[in-house]
Structure 1
Amino acid sequence: MPGPTPLSSYAALLAAAAGDPFVEHEVGPDLLAPPLALGGAVLYRRMTQLGFTGAVCLGPAPDVRALLRSEWRGHPGWAAERSITVEATHRGLLEDLGVRGLGEWHTMSALPGQLDLRPVPAGVMVERTLARDVARAFVGEHHTARWITPDPEGEMWVAVRARGTGELLGTGLAAYTPSGATRLTSIAIHRDRRCQGLGRLVTQALAEVGFERSPAVVLGVDQDNIVGRTLYAAMGFRLDHELVSGILPPAAPVSGRRVASTATGTTRESQRQRGLP
């Protein structure tokens, strides 16, 4: 089979991806590298919530295998690529290719009207805007700010407070993806108030505000976060892909020179979601 063919435009990428929500909701018109296609498989670069970039390859299994076993990093814009994400069923392929630091995670999405929205329970209230310094201080105290970038595009915080006292019980962060969808990025609950349904309430508040400004709300969650996956599915988020991500070995030398091995992705792509409960 011949090698992959470069796609000339954003429209060509969308057409090759055949309406895949992971592409439509997370890749914007300003492409980060020329996408490649081989058969029904497509390879493109996406931006994670942490500001790193990484390659994603989706499509029929035989075509994905053929593309990733080709000299795709010899194409313009791909020589230094180190991060790769594929369907979790291709984990063995990544292992064969020497990919390390593998982590499995799920990407989920929802459109307006698809979520099971519940009334705010008695005793608490939702605050649809929260000052970023207050929110970030709360996250640092009750969770971790490790997975929050300094200035995400479209940064938006919500909060849940105790009715009467105003005590801050939980916060949630969302930001824009490059395509304009709203990505749920971080949820933190007061350490003394966990397992009381507040995580769902914060998630719902983020989604409601997200739908007011975006055509879709998306999130990612680690495969081993069964509680989180169960919650999001129960709320109505649709499972788009079960994925595995990792770091590629350095590319082979080209024209007598070793290709630079500067990493462009995270060690474990699934780490981007550890800010979610």
Structure 2
Amino acid sequence: MSRTAALSSFVESTPPGELSDVTKAIKSILGDDNVSSELSPAFEKYNEEQFTTVKLPGGSNEVLVSEHNRLGDGRYYDVESQSSFEFDHATQKASGVQSYVLESDNADLVKSTIKSLSTHAAEHYPKSSIGVFPVSDETALAILTVANKYSPSNYWNGRWRSSYIYTPSSGSITGTIKVDVHYYEDGNVRLLTNKDVDLKVGQNANASEIVRAIAGAEKKYQEDLNKAFGSLSEGAFKSLRRQLPITRQKMDWDKISGYRVGADIGGGRTR
């Protein structure tokens, strides 16, 4: 594997909200502050796949970057703000904002879907950005949501991504839900999930019907995740622990949620 390929793999596997940290680490290890140009394709791939969000100069809301709203030459567009912008994939900064009006046979459906999807996202995600874009051949819509929650002071970051392709002629919605959570206090634990979605709505469905179907799929997946974590807590996580902790006393699993980590479990000792 070449140096560029190896470094690119580090970039492409970067956890949510940590690209600048990974880039700094690469520069420090190599002693090369000019490595960003070598990794430019990897940065672009990462930002588009992760639906990286950016606040436009003079704007209040964050817009997302993806392959579906790419214009070429490093520029992207946002339907809601009716603007296009230049995006620096290495620094994740936007500049060169210009007016951009969407011209599409599906423009009305795009705008109404944005409105319905915005309501859904605001109700279910604490901080999110959405995008609805016609695909290149005008036969379908790409419907994207990304929700980020970063807490580096508590050593964790997380991201929800959902992407769907709606085809009016067949009434089909196909896509994927992805969840990526990284916890790195005194260790390195990462959750990566990937759920394929295949839905049917009526041909030429309206925006409310499209988003209602998507909302139902996302709600079910969140419920499934909650059940899975409950099973892990009651089963697999217990089997991973040694029978006796450092206190030499058995763990009272019925009271585990009430323990103060580091104090009660560690017998009152602090580091």
Tell me if both proteins adopt one fold, taking TM over 0.5 as the criterion: no
- Greater RCO, 1 or 2 (C-alpha within 8 Å, sep 6+): 1
- TM-score normalised according to structure 1 size: 0.22
> Who wins on radius of gyration, i.e. which is larger?
2
Q: Specify which structure has the higher proportion of helix.
A: 2
